[in-house]
Amino acid sequence: MPTGNDLSISVVIPAYNAGPYIAATLQSVLAQQADNIEVVIVDGGSTDDTVDIANTFSTLNITIISEPDRGQLDALQKGLKVARNDIILWLNADDIVMPGAFSAARQAFSNNNVDFVYSDDVAFNERTGGYFYGPPIDGLNDFDHYLYYRQMYSECVYWKRSITRFLQEDAYSLRVYTDYAFFLRLRWGRRGMWLNQRLGAFRIREGQASAEFQNQKVEEYKRVKEIHRLYIGWPEQRFVLARIVYWPWFLTRQRLRPEITRACRRLTRAVTKDRKRKREADDFFNKWLLPMSSKGPRSGD
């Protein structure tokens, strides 16, 4: 595999009626000012201007597939089969690549023997100006991820294309825990590395799947764990016993430690009057994020 800036990156974007957001998403890719990038947009037959807006980003190497699909996972896996570059990023059509993310990911792969890299995320609400740090997931391992639950943020995960694993078609009906099912399988037994730099930003908006399909969450959560249990060949008794034995370790590392970290952050913000995050938010909204009112690349990029 090439090293450094020679590492090529494929950005796979599932999309459906993403007209209000897709320009900002693509602008955040374009603004990385990186070579050897391809973008694969898999549009589920949008009835708005999603495809038209994507076509205005003529300086990006974009492939657009526009046809009906069976949900986000179906669209994602279609895109992964088309992607040809060394490293993959799954970027939802309303999320944002943070400044310097491509460079940081390339450097991490170049300097370390790892299969995937990931980071904490930022959540933002463009309408209210909200800008929030996601829970820290430093040290998240396979058992943390599977036996209990600590989310990996899709906009913050980069992986080698060669390790991609596909889920079966009966998982296409997932609506809330698509990312959980996909990354459980992708990362299992692979070498990962957490980066101390937020690589992506998650957009908070109305109509997101987590709210729209709220009544499916419990059933899907259990189903994802069952799909993975069958995939790795564990008997049900082993899964139950592993949860019991592993709970104190998970509680210490992925519940108590993050809460202590967050408490320290709150204390620091109180002492400093939150100046650092306010500066980050100001730069993000005023210098980085393309407003929803924009329908094409920012002038000069």
The per-residue pLDDT for range 107-123, each reduced to its tens digit, is: 999 999 999 999 999 99
Superfamily of domain 8-288: Spore Coat Polysaccharide Biosynthesis Protein SpsA; Chain A (3.90.550.10)
Q: How confident is the model at residue 3 (pLDDT cuts 50, 70, 90)?
A: confident
Contacts of 288 (CB under 8 A, 6+ apart): 28, 31, 96, 98, 99
Structure tokens at 106: 């390339």
Q: How confident is the model at residue 151 (pLDDT cuts 50, 70, 90)?
A: confident
pLDDT at 160 over 90: yes
pLDDT at 211 over 80: no
Mean of all residue pLDDT scores within the chain: 95
Q: Residue 111's pLDDT is what?
A: 97
Q: Residue 300's pLDDT is what?
A: 63
pLDDT at 40 over 90: yes
pLDDT at 4 over 80: no
CA 193 to chain centre: 15
Q: Residue 209's pLDDT is what?
A: 75
Q: Residue 242's pLDDT is what?
A: 98
* DSSP conformation class of 154: G
Q: How confident is the model at residue 78 (pLDDT cuts 50, 70, 90)?
A: very high
Contact yes or no for 216/176 (Cβ under 8 A): yes
Q: Residue 206's pLDDT is what?
A: 87
Q: What is the pLDDT of residues 185-201, one digit of tens each?
A: 999 999 999 999 999 99
Q: What is the pLDDT of residues 64-74, one digit of tens each?
A: 999 999 999 99
pLDDT at 281 over 80: yes
Q: Residue 276's pLDDT is what?
A: 92
- Residue found under tokens 């204390």: 267
Q: Residue 114's pLDDT is what?
A: 98
Q: Residue 39's pLDDT is what?
A: 98
Contact yes or no for 13/270 (Cβ under 8 A): no
Q: Residue 301's pLDDT is what?
A: 64
Q: Residue 166's pLDDT is what?
A: 98
What mean pLDDT is predicted for residues 61-87?
97
